[in-house]
Amino acid sequence: MTSKTYCWAIIDAMREEMERDTNVFLIGEDVAAAGGAFGASRGLHKAFGPLRVRDTPISEEVIVGLGVGAAMTGKRPIVEIMFMDFFGLCLDQIVNQAAKMHYLYQGMFKMPLVIRTSVATEMGIGPHHSQSLEAWVGHVPGLKVVMPSTPRDAKGLLKSAIRDDNPVIFIEHLALHKLKEEIDDDEDLLIPLGKADIKRPGRDLTVVATGLMVGKALQAAQTLAGEGIEMEVIDPRTISPLDMDTLVASVIRTNRAMVVSSAHKPFGFSSEVAAELQERAFFHLDCPVRRLTPPFTPQPFGKGFEKFLHPDVDSIIKAAREMLR
Amino acid sequence: MSHAVTIPKLGLTMEEATLVEWHVQDGERVEKGQTLLTIETEKIMFDVEAEASGWLQRVAAVDSLLKVGDLAAHLHEAPGHHAPSASLDQAPPSAPAQAPMPGAAAPADTRLHAASLTTTTAGERLLASPVARRLAHERGIALHQLKGSGPGGVILKRDIPTASVKPPAEGLSVAAVATQRRPLTPMRRAISQRMMHSLSSTAQMTGFGRIDMAAVTAWRATLLAHESGLGVRITFTDLVLKVCACALLDIPEINAYIEGDEVVQLGEVNIGLAVSVDGGLLVPVLKQVDRLSLVDICQARKALVDKARASRLTREDLEGGSFTLSNFGSYGGDFETPILNSPQSALLGIGRITDEPVVREGQIVIRPMMMMSLTFDHRLIDGALAGRFRARVRDLLEQPALMAATLR
Amino acid sequence: MKKTSPETTEKETVASRGGLSSQEAHSLYATLVEIRECEAQLNAVFAKNLFPGYIHSYMGQEACATGVCAALRSDDWIITTHRGRGHYLAKGMALEPMMCEMFGRANGIAGGRGGEMHAADPSVGILGGNGIVGGGIPYATGAAYSALLEGSDRVCAVFFGEGASNQGSFHEALNLAAAWNLPLLFVCENNLYAEMTPFIQTSRLPDIALRAQGYGIHGEAVDGTDVVAVRDAARAAVQRARTGLGPTLLELKTYRYGGHFQGDPCNYRTREEEAQWKERDCVANFRARILVENLLPLSELQAVEASAASRVACAIELALASPDPEPSEALRHVYAP
């Protein structure tokens, strides 16, 4: 067992998969010589050479496009789009091309493409580097979307994503890069996509949290335990396909649900979960499903603004207490 | 459409009858021709039969005197106007076993949408959560008989009794009060666990003392007179908090606790204050009371009590206490044996201040007296030490000027 | 596949331009005629209201697809546009499954799910058409990169119209292909009208081949009505790519007889212009050349024409008679297992 950071878990996942299968390669801006804009591909260029780890021009559409074409012709590309905020520049290749090749052509082509990208909410970088846009891609049939919150989850899910024959959008959170966890060195760690994880069991309230919100929900749960309130914290890990079975089973036990998300409520992930829960677990709900999200504004520059705008541990505690009145 | 069951005219001169007995339970399915009830006129006993099939909703009670043509009951075309008695017989053991599978929820539960489940007999909409409705339905309980404890009076799962409520026995003119059961709220569960843990993990003992509160009363009066200048209204609790803090500085062995094989000596004097809230008890903590002025203490206390009552206390507000104060006087208590707030080793309770006759210099005089109850963990604190602490508290309360000696 | 030496092949290519054997003439003519028949008969079907959806006619541009694909191997790849029928046939997609796909039938090559704009056949290197103008250009770089990774000399040709040359995807792909020296042919069929707007109104330079200079790669403008000229230019570009000399931008000047789609009244161009281009009809002119140079007897040409006409007619009949896909099939293949 070794203590690994979230960032190193991602590097390890890519390295292990590239060693295992020569068809796996990585392209993106600054991924090779610099080891990644955020250091998430350190050592790979040296280990695998300039063809398999390659720096691209600043051309998001063709970065994804190259991935699409290579995936259709027998390779397993990993392409990196530096910030998810940049998806507007390459949505056609993701939504109209990657997502639909297998479907349109009746399975003649597989699309084993992984698009790794980063979300930087609450880091005060500014309005073009602070959005959590999983709803954009979660809404497109044919894509899979993954959002790990821990190092072990990141490693296991990335390895599975690389081995998946479908296009997977792999969303990393920059603020989680330094998070550490013990990971077994020997294990060929594969965490299945589409399976949620109960990070903390509880009987009074189901809290569905993703990405950066998972840690906050766990801290809130610890405090509330002191008051006798036992929160069950579930991390879906995969946004699409969403493991609603686990969430519904939990709400049947607890009768109350809250979704905590970095993304806006309107048309967002939290709304999807709330709609599914009310449809599938209506007769088990003791109060409405609560969605805890930032208000519907862009993110201005600066940590002061971001702290105000985003749900934190205390707001989760407050909401939980209100729901249990 | 429902069928009305009315008192039949049995003879030319018959005008009224007494309802003697019902033969069918409320909500039960009835077939045409089945005997529903028995009435008694001046002359005869008569069994009234159902003229149609349906589900019975009783209207008239046993022993009531009814005129010919009066409504005795309804026979409805669909169940659900009152709880079907089938589920009363089954007596489900626990809720989860009865819960429908998620996928099956939609078709099986459509009958819950029947308007009468959502309305009181007066036709207003009843507010009840989905799970409450389902459980009430499964357990054969009429929602309109229940009082909701949720926000705005909503009936919640915890308001649904786990066993069906038995209707009052027939024939009694005064309804007996039925036994009810309801689940523990999370706060109540937490309190009960904490209390048991405290009692089973420490060797608790309580020692008492009597304090002459004349000096404190005068002290407070002075402070009240300067309320506008100070900006706050200082209470007895605030004064006692300060005195406790001084006493804890003087006798720091009280400001400690046992953890495993070690004695943890706390550096800060953080005093928890027991606050009664809706449904239970919370103990927010005032930090570093030894370094706070009376004004500070008063403001901090008020802020914490407000937060506690508004359910807005944070993790920090509840953690870090080294000693607790409980004021039973606020609910009329004199002395009690309070239970320690684990892991602390001591808790001081204070009672009412009442005028009592005491002996001073051979004379009987009336003094404002107050009892103090100090519960302590005898594993760490011996009786003598506890006595010294009580004595110190008493000295400071009876002669507050002593605190000035160590005032910085 | 072995790589051939750069110097010798460049010389060979130049020397053999314009050369045409009887065998080559037959092969080129058969493809031209098959595509022409297809377009002509489908227009008639559409006029009878028997065609589901839009038809984007390729009539008039047959020499472009035919010439370029004649320079490619079976294991090379092509990517095409919404107007892809000519390319499908020229690259070797079978006529019947293609026709059934055009009509959206269950036995179409993509099960009727792609329709006119989306047919593909990986066995002959066809990586699909596209409903997005310029949508195919970015992923052509991916196929080309696969060749680099596997160390083969396969190449990818991506077809697009002059309208797509104004999409951002065109710029990004050309830049990357040039920077990474990818084995790519960018084949721009300039039929002068992007949808319904004349190209000269949307671009300052009417010659797209000139843009190649901006990327540091070879660009060439070719008469798109001359199938041999197209073939020769494509051969040179393919050799360049196979020998590690990188991508080429070919601009084929051509003309489509139909509108952007069938039923387009073409108010944006004159009847005189259309008549002028029809005089340069690629099929008729090539036929004339074959006869003038005595490459094939007339009877052989007529046999080719008759064969194409009947095969296309049968394919259309088959397609019309074939069943629609089961509607519930729409739920399948969203994800690979």
C143, two tokens = 């196929």
Please judge whether A281 and B129 are an interchain contact, meaning their C-beta atoms are less than 8 angstroms apart.
no
Q: Does A319 touch chain B (CB under 8 A)?
A: no
Gap between the Cα atoms of C73 and C70, Å rounded: 8
Contact A69 C113 (CB under 8 A): no
Tell me the percentage of chain A whose pLDDT exceeds 70.
100
Decide if domain A197-323 falls under CATH 3.40.50.880: no
From chain A, pick out residues whose CB is under 8 angstroms from the CB of C128. 101, 104-105, 109
CATH 3.40.50.970 residue ranges of chain A are 2-183
Q: Which residue has the tokens 């010919």?
A: B68
Strand order across the A238-240 sheet: A53-55, A24-28, A76-81, A114-119, A168-173, A144-146, A238-240
Angle between helix C22-47 and C298-321 (nearest 10): 40
Determine the residue among B149, B156, B278, B311 to mutate to test chain A binding: the one whose Cβ has the most chain A Cβ atoms within 10 Å: B311
pLDDT at B87: 37
Q: Give me the residue from C111, C118, C141 closest to A65, CB to CB.
A: C141
Structural domain containing residue C275: 6-26+54-79+128-308
| Sign of the torsion angle spanned by Cα atoms C126, C131, C133, C138 | negative
C-alpha separations of C254 from C20, C117, C267, C302 in Å: 21, 21, 19, 26
The chains in contact with chain B, meaning 3 or more Cβ pairs closer than 8 Å, are: A
A142 and C143 within 8 Å at the Cβ level: the answer is no
Q: What is the DSSP letter of A95?
A: I
Q: How many CB atoms lie within 10 A of CB B104?
A: 9
Cα–Cα distance between C107 and B293 in angstroms, integer? 89
Q: By CB neighbour count within 10 A (0-12 exposed, 13-18 middle, 19+ buried), where does B166 fall?
A: exposed
Cα distance from A282 to chain B (closest Cα, Å)? Answer: 6
Give me the residues paired with residue B273 across strands. Answer: B325
Distance from the Cα of B249 to chain A's closest Cα (Å) equals 28
Secondary structure class of A77 (helix, strand, coil): strand
Cα three-residue angle B209-B215-B219, rounded to 5 degrees: 125
Strand partners, A81: A117
Q: Are chains B and C touching, using the cut-off of 8 Å on CB pairs and a minimum of 3 such pairs? A: no
Taking the CA of residue C326 as centre, how many other CA atoms within 13 Å lie in the half-sphere pointing to its CB? 4
How far is A283 from chain B, CA to nearest CA, in Å? 5
Q: In the prediction, which pLDDT does C16 show?
A: 58
SS (H, E, C) C146-208: HHHHHCCCCCEEEEEEHHHHHCHHHHHHHHHHHHHCCCEEEEEEECCEECCEEHHHCCCCCCH
Q: Which amino acid is at C205?
A: L
Determine the Cα–Cα distance for residues B234 and B226; give it in Å rounded to an integer.
10
The enclosing H or E element of B38 equals strand B35-40
**Could you tell me if C323 and C106 are in contact, meaning their C-beta atoms sit under 8 angstroms apart?**
yes
Query: Among residues B244, B222, B237, which one has the least CA distance to residue B329?
Result: B237
How far is A258 from C97, CA to CA, in rounded Å? 52
Q: How many domains does chain C have?
A: 1
Whole-number pLDDT of residue B81 = 61
Å between B379 CA and nearest CA of chain A? 25
Q: For each successive 10 residues of chain B (408 residues), what is the average pLDDT?
A: 81 77 88 88 77 88 85 84 42 39 39 44 74 90 88 90 62 66 79 89 94 94 90 92 94 93 93 87 92 93 90 85 91 90 93 93 95 95 95 94 79
Whether B314 and A317 lie within 8 Å, measured CB to CB? yes
CB–CB contact A69 C335 (8 Å): no
Closest chain A CA to residue B317: A223
Give the residue numbers in C contacting A (CB under 8 Å), as ranges. 77, 79, 110-111, 113-114, 118, 120-122, 127-128, 130-132, 135, 137-146, 148-150, 156, 168-169, 172-173, 175-176, 179-180, 333-337
* Chain Cα centroid distance, residue C281: 17
For position B311, what pLDDT does the model report?
80
CB-CB: which of A70, A103, A110 is closest to C334? A103
| Cβ-defined contact of B187 to A321 (cutoff 8 Å) | no
Q: Any idea of the CA torsion for C320, C322, C327, C333, to the nearest 10 degrees?
A: -110
Determine contact, residues A69/C146, Cβ cutoff 8 Å: yes
Contact flag B130-A282 (C-beta cutoff 8 Å): yes
Interface membership of A223 toward B (CB under 8 Å): yes
Specify the CATH number for the domain of residue C141: 3.40.50.970
CA nearest A282 in B: which residue?
A: B130
The single-letter DSSP state of residue C296 is S
Q: What is the pLDDT of residue B324?
A: 96
d(CA C45, CA B348): 98
pLDDT value of position C267: 76
pLDDT in tens, A83-134: 999 999 999 999 999 999 999 999 999 999 999 999 999 998 999 999 999 9
CA distance C60 to C36: 8
- Judge whether C262 lies within some domain: yes
Please judge whether B187 and A228 are an interchain contact, meaning their C-beta atoms are less than 8 angstroms apart: yes
Residues of B with active-site annotation: 378, 382
Total beta-carbon pairs less than 8 A apart between chain A and chain C? 137
Chain B residues at the A interface, defined by Cβ less than 8 Å, are 96, 99-100, 102-103, 105, 109, 112, 129-134, 150-151, 154, 156-157, 185-191, 193, 282, 311-312, 314-315, 318-319
Q: Retrieve residue B138's tokens.
A: 């499964």
8 Å CB contact of A104 and C335: no
Which stretches of chain C score pLDDT less than 50?
A: 1-15
Q: Are C110 and A106 in contact (CB < 8 Å)?
A: yes
Q: Are B370 and B352 in contact (CB under 8 A)?
A: yes
Q: Residues of B with CB below 8 A from A286's CB?
A: 129-132, 150, 156-157
Which residues on A lie below 8 Å from B150 (Cβ)?
286-287, 325
Which of B131, B185, B312 is the mutation pick for testing A, counting most A CBs within 10 A? B131
CA C252, CA C189: separation in Å to the nearest integer? Answer: 5
Confidence at residue B14, expressed as pLDDT on a 0 to 100 scale: 73
Closest CB to B151 among A204, A253, A325: A325
Residue of A nearest to B282 (CA): A227
Q: Find the CB nearest A57 among C132, C156, C175.
A: C175
- pLDDT score recorded for residue B165: 55
Q: How many whole angstroms separate alpha carbon C5 and alpha carbon A275?
A: 64
Query: Tokens 């050309």 appear where?
Result: C174
- In the prediction, which pLDDT does B113 show? 42
Tell me how far apart the alpha carbons of residues B212 and B395 are, in angstroms, rounded to a whole number.
10
Query: E strand or H helix at C312, and its extent?
Result: helix C298-321
Residue numbers in A near C114 (CB within 8 A): 104-105
* Strands laid side by side in the B35-40 sheet: B45-49, B35-40, B16-22, B65-67
Any residues with CB less than 8 A from the CB of C314 and at least 6 apart, and which? C96
Inter-chain contact A223–B99, Cβ cutoff 8 Å?
A: no
pLDDT at res. B42: 66
Mutate to test the interface with A, among C76, C141, C171, C332 (most CBs of A within 10 A): C141
Q: How far is Cα B167 from Cα C157, in angstroms, rounded to an integer? A: 85
Residue A226: list chain B partners with CB under 8 A.
190, 315, 318-319
Flag whether the ipTM exceeds 0.90.
yes
**Residues of A annotated as part of the active site:** 129
- Every domain range in chain A assigned CATH 3.40.50.920: 197-323
- Across the interface, whether the CB atoms of C142 and A66 are under 8 A apart is answered yes
Q: Is residue C37 part of a domain?
A: no
Q: Is C337 in contact with A165 (Cβ distance < 8 A)?
A: yes
| A25: chain C residues, CB-CB within 8 Å | 149
Nearest beta carbon to residue C176 from set A57, A68, A166: A57
What CATH number labels A2-183?
A: 3.40.50.970
Residue C97 lies in a domain: no
For testing the chain A interface, which of C81, C126, C139, C184 should be mutated: the one with the most A CBs within 10 Å? C139
C166 located within any domain: yes
All domains of chain B, ordered by start, with CATH?
A: 2-76 (2.40.50.100), 86-183 (4.10.320.10), 187-406 (3.30.559.10)
